[in-house]
């Protein structure tokens, strides 16, 4: 699936020139989906997340980059933004970086520079997607556990532990240490309160996280296996099939 680009243009540059600039994207993972020369429309499109990447063509008569970045959330914005300027302007460049732009290119833009900027944007999107799916898996796993007033503080401590273990592999020992217990006591503590062992709970959580990543279509089985901390893709495939009845590649399709 290609990453979709929104172009916000502050000048009346010819379509021919724009097409020439972005013709290098034809055989890449990127595609230009929309273009607008209206600032308000650009803000609305960014906030609606209709595309994956914003490229702002910052030109006379109105240099809109910094204004557009402010109106769409500054550094809190999730969509990566690349600025292409008609001139090498260090003051505008600094302002744009402070407002969350990931790159500032000057025209004429060398194709390799544009592709490198887009690769950084793709990497940022990739990392955001991992974090989003991980947090969704945490929420789902906790929602499956019994919840009472007495158990709520325990669940919140468990949530903090799982969030801390993103990109790491949790073990009973690490969980016990987080709760301030020894391994054996923690095992009994968890089973008594939630009716399942921590190991079974965590394995179900991992499989749900794996399913979410695979369902996006953005992650290969090898990468999912690595993210979940499995020693080999073959071992991950065996565990995944045992829990779901499908191989990871079959589930991904």
CA atoms of 158 and 167, how far apart (whole Å): 16
Residue 101's nearest CA partner among 133, 64, 143 is 64
- Render pLDDT for 33-50 as a digit per residue (tens, 0 to 9): 999 989 999 999 999 999
The pTM of this model reads 0.84
Domains of the chain, each with CATH number or no CATH: 3-125 (3.40.50.2300), 128-252 (1.10.10.60)
DSSP state of 123: H
CA atoms of 156 and 159, how far apart (whole Å): 5
DSSP line for 73-109 = TGGG--S-EEEEESS--HHHHHHHHHTT-SEEEESSP
DSSP state of 232: -
- Render pLDDT for 112-166 as a digit per residue (tens, 0 to 9): 999 999 999 999 999 999 999 999 999 999 999 998 999 999 999 999 999 999 9
Other C-beta atoms closer than 10 Å to the C-beta of 51 total 19
Q: What is the pLDDT along the chain (253 residues), one digit of tens a residue?
A: 789 999 998 766 655 567 777 888 988 999 999 999 899 999 999 999 999 999 999 887 788 899 999 999 877 888 999 999 887 778 889 999 999 999 999 988 899 999 999 999 999 999 999 999 999 999 999 999 998 999 999 999 999 999 999 999 999 999 999 999 999 999 999 999 999 999 999 999 999 999 999 999 889 999 999 999 998 999 999 999 999 999 999 887 7
């Amino acid at each position: 699936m290609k990453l979709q680009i929104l172009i916000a243009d502050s000048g009346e540059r010819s379509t021919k020139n724009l097409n020439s600039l972005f013709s290098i994207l034809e055989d890449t993972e990127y595609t230009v989906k929309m273009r607008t020369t209206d600032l308000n429309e650009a803000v609305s499109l960014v906030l609606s997340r209709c595309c994956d990447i914003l490229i702002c063509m910052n030109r006379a008569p109105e240099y809109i980059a910094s204004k557009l970045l402010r109106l769409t959330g500054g550094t809190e914005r999730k969509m990566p933004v690349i600025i292409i300027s008609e001139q090498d302007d260090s003051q505008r460049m600094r302002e744009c970086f402070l407002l969350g732009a990931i790159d500032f290119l000057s025209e004429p833009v060398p194709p390799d520079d544009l592709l490198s900027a887009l690769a950084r944007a793709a990497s940022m999107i990739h990392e955001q997607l991992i974090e989003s799916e991980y947090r969704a898996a945490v929420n789902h796993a906790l929602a499956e556990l019994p919840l009472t007033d007495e158990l709520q503080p325990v669940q919140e401590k468990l949530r903090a532990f799982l969030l801390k273990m993103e990109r790491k592999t949790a073990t009973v020992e690490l969980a016990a240490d987080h709760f301030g217990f020894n391994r054996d006591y923690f095992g009994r503590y968890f089973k008594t309160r939630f009716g399942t062992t921590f190991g079974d709970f965590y394995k179900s959580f991992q499989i749900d996280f794996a399913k979410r990543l695979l369902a996006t279509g953005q992650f290969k089985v090898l990468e999912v296996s690595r993210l979940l901390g499995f020693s080999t893709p073959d071992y991950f495939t065996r565990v995944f099939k045992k829990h779901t009845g499908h191989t990871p590649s079959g589930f991904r399709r």
